[in-house]
Structure 1
Amino acid sequence: MRRLLPMLALLIGLCSEAALLVAVPQDVLADYERLVAGRDVRTLRDYSGPGARRDTVEMILLQQALWLGGERAAVRFTTLNSYARILNEVEQGRVVAGGTSAWATDLSTRNIRLSRALIEEGEYVVGLYALAGNHAVLRTRPAQWRTLTAVTNRAWINDVATLQQLGVRHIESAPTFAMIARMLKAGRGDLTLASFKPTPDLSFEVEGITLTPLVGYKVAMPGSRHFPIAPTPRGERFARALDIGLARLRGEGRIRQAYEAGGFFNSRVAEWTLLDPRRTTAPARISPRPP
């Protein structure tokens, strides 16, 4: 038995240092790999470059926060394209966390631990995006939006509520952002909500489909966003390290720096009209049909 104890201790240590499985969508992972381009994320300070956006800089911040919090196990990303599926896998403990942030309201009814906030109440401001070249939509004004069809994922509860409160009466649902873009290209919808990007005209591409914002308007979405973490012993350890690191990153200004590099906090829209999403309107009709 005495001879077995050192071996058991070694095996326990190896298990504790096994890779941390973190779920992200495939398109986010592809852009993250373009952005990182082989750099060591632990020492990375320049968050800008091809692939930079809210989701990809969050993947970097997650790893930096874990390292600063004392977690030495490597992170291994696995791909799940459905937001709801990622939350389910986290809740069941099959992955230790989601690698991009989720709304606190989406997690409130789930057995999921929330990290410290990456995006605090009042910080989340997005644009209304339409297919590039669709001038009939791009030139519309708020009073006309009730005649348009928005496309979003009905699992994104805050997005649906915000579109309703903006007066949009008809909302189509698609399970991934790539499918949302395809629906806009096919004319099965007119606009969607999306975070701003660091490109000169704030546009971005999804599977070769270019989306561009309705110039002059930005939308404040209520709520805070957090990394979702599994309710497991390893998730508890993950959360402790992550929260320590996130506190340090925020104190050093690196969370804001990362979001600015990703275009999410964007000075180009500083003078745009900020719309209040909390005004009451008639509820929208949401179609669950996939594209």
Structure 2
Amino acid sequence: MKFTFSNISLNYFCRILLTLCLLYCPATLADSVIYADILKAEDYRLRYNLALGGQKAIDIKDYTPTKVGSQREIVEMIILQKALYLGGEKSTIAFNPKDSLTLREVTSLVKGDSLLYGNTLWFEMIKDYQGSLYISDPLIRYGEYEAGFYTSRSNKKALSTTMETLKDLKVITSSQWGADWRALHNSPVQTINFMGSWIDMLSMVEYQVVDAMLINFSLQEDLSLMFDDKTYIPIPNIKIMLPGSRHFVVSKKHPNGAQVFNALNKGIKIMRESGEIEKLYRQAGFINSKVKGWSIANSTMLTVDAK
């Protein structure tokens, strides 16, 4: 007996086939949205939108930062989108603030509940999760991450510190901040461990309970940082290198993980070869030419061959 489809049967079959494709064929992300998680506690979207100035991230050629807050996170949100686009991923990128997300937490990526993070993470923090995470080529390479010993403008004793008297400097940090912790313990300073918030640490610096804390160099001409109407400045001519490299991470368990990671890493390679990654970090003030000749407190770590 010859079997034929009626028009109704054929239409029904096509609808079923289309539904199955939508459910079980996630490889195509064109015209969809990729969600990248960021910290809700420090929701960078407002400053990110201000930095874009109405442009699309993929069209940014030169980064013109505002003078409010750290720019590293903002410029990385731009680099992420440009790299994905250059790698062939044309989906819209949306940043998703999450209450539970911290810089020490990758559970949602490991489980596949989240696809990727919108900012880089230290390799030291993610290296043990390589079975569950795709790790991109480094955005910040070993030796590129530098910070200053920021102190209160009124702390004349701390501001007079030299390499010879660095051993007397009391610097507050947290043992949970792995890169900061290792950097300070490979320098002559006295390291004070504190498990409270960054803001509490800054208050201890202001009231001179401690001398200084590590902070990325600011965009101001004098490298000063203002917070809550108080001014902090770096001890002149001394900086520290935070050891390690920083990378984007993508979940291996997310159904779109492999496709997104391949596009992302391809785009990172293109941007690295063109010099655009370093240029954007410099324009953001993260790689800061004003401190190029400063002495490095933990210079022995520069000889370490590691990520």
Under TM normalisation by the shorter chain, which class is it?
0.7 to 0.9
> In the alignment, does 2:84 pair up with 1:66?
yes
CA gap of 1:242–1:130, structure 2 versus 1, over 3 A, is same
Equivalence map 1:11-26=2 (5 Å): 16=29, 17-24=32-39, 26=41
Which deviates more, 8-17 or 230-239? 8-17
SS in 2 for 1:229: strand
> In the alignment, does 2:58 pair up with 1:39?
no
CA drift of 1:249 comes to 1.0
SS in 1 for 2:90: coil
Name stretches of at least 5 consecutive residues in structure 1 with no aligned partner: 280-291
* Cα offsets for 1:234-284 (capped at 9, x unmatched): 2222211111111111112111111111112222112222333447xxxxx
SS in 1 for 2:248: strand
Q: What letter matches 1:49 in structure 2?
A: P
Larger radius of gyration: 2
Which deviates more, 95-104 or 11-20? 11-20
> In the alignment, does 2:190 pair up with 1:169?
yes
Give the match for residue 197 of structure 1: 218
SS in 1 for 2:33: coil
Equivalence map 1:119-158=2 (5 Å): 119-158=140-179
Q: Distance between the aligned counterparts of 1:229 and 1:188, measured in 2?
A: 41
Q: Distance between the aligned counterparts of 1:173 and 1:238, measured in 2?
A: 38
Equivalent residue in structure 2 for 1:91, among 99, 110, 121: 110
Q: What letter matches 1:181 in structure 2?
A: L
CA gap of 1:128–1:27, structure 2 versus 1, over 3 A, is same
Q: Distance between the aligned counterparts of 1:36 and 1:176, measured in 2?
A: 30
Provide the aligned C-alpha RMSD in A: 2.7
Using structure 2 for the length normalisation, give the TM-score.
Answer: 0.79
Is the CA contact 1:82–1:176 (under 8 Å) kept in the aligned structure 2?
Answer: no
> In the alignment, does 2:115 pair up with 1:100?
no
Give the match for residue 269 of structure 1: 291
Give the match for residue 269 of structure 2: 247
Percent of paired sites with the same residue: 27
Give the match for residue 74 of structure 2: 56
Task: Report how many residues are paired.
Answer: 278
Give the match for residue 281 of structure 2: 259
CA drift of 1:213 comes to 1.0
Name stretches of at least 5 consecutive residues in structure 2 with no aligned partner: 1-12, 302-307
* Cα offsets for 1:188-229 (capped at 9, x unmatched): 432222222222011223454433211101223332211122
CA drift of 1:47 comes to 0.8
CA drift of 1:37 comes to 3.2
Q: Distance between the aligned counterparts of 1:188 and 1:237, measured in 2?
A: 50
Is the CA contact 2:36–2:118 (under 8 Å) kept in the aligned structure 1?
Answer: no
CA gap of 1:41–1:178, structure 2 versus 1, over 3 A, is farther
Is the CA contact 1:151–1:171 (under 8 Å) kept in the aligned structure 2?
Answer: yes
SS in 2 for 1:3: helix
Is the CA contact 2:152–2:205 (under 8 Å) kept in the aligned structure 1?
Answer: yes
